[in-house]
């Protein structure tokens, strides 16, 4: 038998010692240089009721003024009628690494008297981004694919101290299979430490009760202790109780810090004793940005795509087969393309048929009109003929056409005076 094949038929790995330096140890550096040159794309979405500090937190997270400060809405102000979706982009750079950041804001969410469908435009927005990606993947030339998919969704929970509201649960239930959900407790400085701890517990139990999947930092088997404990620490803070501020204030010991000043003291944004802002930033940017992107692509988008294609009637025996077999992949793309063509053809046929029907209907109508006109004319002629016939008969029978009589009883015209 072939010694390089195991029983399963797969080639076995033969470990060899290198005799000297070959150079592939430098591969990670090549990848590093390349990605730095290309830059990164990241799209975050923020959802939550108005005034919970979404814009402020985004500014605090990326340390820029992506959003200009807004005055809180006066109670008399007109409320928005729908959930509008706005996105702003910014290129930011840190130590030579460029990041194209897009923030998708959803003003109006939860601001209505009836919030039953607040989640709908948001789901539609996320799905249309998947759609656009799928469409780009299926282009003949796909060297320039723009990734506008939402990689993370920060969901702002009002610091009520009770439990999650109906709207919170509904939103998360609808969205958790489509986006990485990261729940945060907004304006945590308005609650005491104990209140925050209790609130977190209640939120987590609500989330698990409704089988909602929030983003979990992945753990790998071969990871070192430090990474594992870092991941555990981040996970232990979910849902992050955050405080946002783009102002620098003076701490009691004289330091200048980002924070919020109160008569009783200063809440520091970047102090882990005061709030979970640092851990949130670590999860979203420093440690797991790539994981968020990967999970979006490999799991969330992939599931959505499979469902979509199956819905379009594209079938496939084995996903594993597809991954290792480029021919299967091409076949799948061909099927997709053919489905598209068939759809176009069906549409064209339909339009054609519709046009023919319209024409036929028109022809029939004018035919009927012609027929009606013809009949009218025929009837008129018939009548005229009958009249003439009648006149002729009368003349022939010697009777006057108009039976006008004179006083003598004789007929006019026969008397000459």
Residues near ligand GTP, by CB under 6 A: 50-56, 70, 72, 107, 187, 189-190, 243-244, 260
Kindly tell me which of 186 and 203 has the beta carbon lying closer to ligand GTP.
186
How many of the other CB atoms lie within 10 Å of CB of 329?
A: 13
Question: Smallest distance from the beta carbon of 59 to ligand GTP, in angstroms?
Answer: 8
Kindly tell me which of 187 and 281 has the beta carbon lying closer to ligand GTP.
187
Question: Smallest distance from the beta carbon of 260 to ligand GTP, in angstroms?
Answer: 6
Kindly tell me which of 175 and 184 has the beta carbon lying closer to ligand GTP.
184
Kindly tell me which of 54 and 281 has the beta carbon lying closer to ligand GTP.
54
What is the DSSP annotation of 269-296?
TT-TTT-SHHHHHIIIIITTHHHHHHHI
Question: Smallest distance from the beta carbon of 74 to ligand GTP, in angstroms?
Answer: 12
Question: Smallest distance from the beta carbon of 106 to ligand GTP, in angstroms?
Answer: 8
Kindly tell me which of 175 and 243 has the beta carbon lying closer to ligand GTP.
243
How many of the other CB atoms lie within 10 Å of CB of 289?
A: 17
CA distance 291 to 278: 18
Kindly tell me which of 197 and 330 has the beta carbon lying closer to ligand GTP.
197
Q: Residue 376: CA atoms inside 13 Å, Cβ hemisphere, count?
A: 6
Which residue's entry shows tokens 């949130």?
280
Question: Smallest distance from the beta carbon of 65 to ligand GTP, in angstroms?
Answer: 11
Question: Smallest distance from the beta carbon of 285 to ligand GTP, in angstroms?
Answer: 18
| Main-chain dihedrals φ then ψ at residue 29, nearest 5 degrees | -70, -35
Kindly tell me which of 147 and 189 has the beta carbon lying closer to ligand GTP.
189
- Polymer length of the chain: 417
Kindly tell me which of 176 and 187 has the beta carbon lying closer to ligand GTP.
187
CA distance 55 to 186: 11
Question: Smallest distance from the beta carbon of 159 to ligand GTP, in angstroms?
Answer: 9
**Inter-residue contact 104 to 43 (CB < 8 Å):** yes
**Inter-residue contact 151 to 293 (CB < 8 Å):** yes
For ligand GTP, the nearest residue by Cβ is 53
Question: Smallest distance from the beta carbon of 54 to ligand GTP, in angstroms?
Answer: 4
CA distance 22 to 5: 26
User: By C-alpha distance, which of 183, 187, 198 is closest to 235?
Assistant: 183
Kindly tell me which of 182 and 217 has the beta carbon lying closer to ligand GTP.
182
Which residue's entry shows tokens 């022939």?
396
Dihedral angle sign, alpha carbons of residues 406, 410, 416, 417: negative
Question: Smallest distance from the beta carbon of 66 to ligand GTP, in angstroms?
Answer: 11
152-157: strand order across its sheet: 86-94, 97-105, 40-47, 152-157, 181-185, 240-241
3-class state of residue 172 by DSSP: helix
Question: Smallest distance from the beta carbon of 15 to ligand GTP, in angstroms?
Answer: 54
Kindly tell me which of 46 and 300 has the beta carbon lying closer to ligand GTP.
46
Question: Smallest distance from the beta carbon of 141 to ligand GTP, in angstroms?
Answer: 40
- Give the DSSP letter of residue 264: T
Rounding to the nearest 10 degrees, give the CA dihedral for residues 158, 163, 164, 166: -110
- Give the DSSP letter of residue 300: I
140-171 as b/e: b if 16+ CB within 10 A: eeeeeeebbbbbbbbbbbbbeeeebbebbbbb
Which residue's entry shows tokens 């919970």?
52
Kindly tell me which of 56 and 180 has the beta carbon lying closer to ligand GTP.
56
């Amino acid at each position: 038998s072939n010694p390089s094949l195991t029983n399963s038929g797969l080639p076995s790995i033969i470990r060899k010692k290198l005799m000297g330096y070959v150079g592939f140890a430098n591969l990670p550096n090549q990848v590093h240089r390349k990605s730095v040159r290309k830059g990164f794309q990241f799209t975050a979405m923020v959802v939550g009721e108005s005034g919970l500090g979404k814009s402020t937190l985004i500014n605090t997270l990326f340390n820029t003024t992506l959003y200009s400060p807004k005055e809180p809405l006066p109670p008399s102000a007109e409320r928005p009628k729908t959930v509008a979706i706005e996105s702003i982009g910014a290129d930011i750079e840190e130590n030579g690494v460029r990041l194209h950041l897009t923030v998708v804001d959803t003003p109006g969410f939860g601001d209505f008297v009836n919030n039953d469908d607040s989640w709908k435009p948001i789901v539609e927005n996320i799905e249309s981004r998947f759609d656009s990606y799928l469409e780009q993947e299926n282009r003949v030339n796909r060297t320039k694919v723009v990734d506008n998919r939402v990689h993370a969704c920060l969901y702002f929970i009002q610091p009520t101290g009770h439990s999650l509201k109906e709207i919170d649960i509904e939103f998360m239930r609808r969205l958790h299979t489509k986006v990485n959900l990261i729940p945060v407790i907004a304006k945590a400085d308005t609650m005491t430490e104990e209140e925050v701890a209790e609130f977190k517990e209640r939120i987590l139990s609500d989330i698990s009760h409704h089988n909602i999947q929030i983003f979990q930092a992945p753990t790998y088997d071969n990871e070192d202790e430090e990474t594992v404990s870092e991941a555990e620490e981040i996970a232990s803070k979910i849902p992050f109780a955050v405080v946002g501020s783009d102002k620098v204030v003076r701490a009691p010991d004289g330091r200048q810090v980002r924070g919020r000043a109160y008569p009783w003291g200063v809440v520091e944004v970047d102090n882990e004793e005061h709030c979970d802002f640092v851990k949130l930033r670590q999860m979203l940017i420093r440690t797991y940005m790539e994981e968020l992107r990967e999970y979006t692509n490999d799991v969330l988008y992939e599931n959505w795509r499979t469902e979509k294609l199956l819905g379009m009637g594209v079938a496939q025996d084995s996903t594993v087969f597809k991954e290792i077999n480029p021919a299967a992949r091409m076949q799948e793309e061909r099927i997709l393309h053919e489905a598209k063509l068939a759809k176009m053809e069906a549409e064209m046929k339909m339009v054609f048929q519709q046009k023919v029907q319209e024409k036929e209907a028109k022809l029939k109508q004018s035919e009927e009109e012609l027929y009606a006109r013809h009949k009218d004319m025929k009837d008129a002629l018939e009548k005229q003929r009958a009249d003439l016939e009648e006149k002729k008969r009368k003349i022939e029978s010697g009777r006057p056409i108009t039976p006008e009589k004179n006083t003598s009883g004789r007929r006019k015209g026969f008397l000459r005076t």
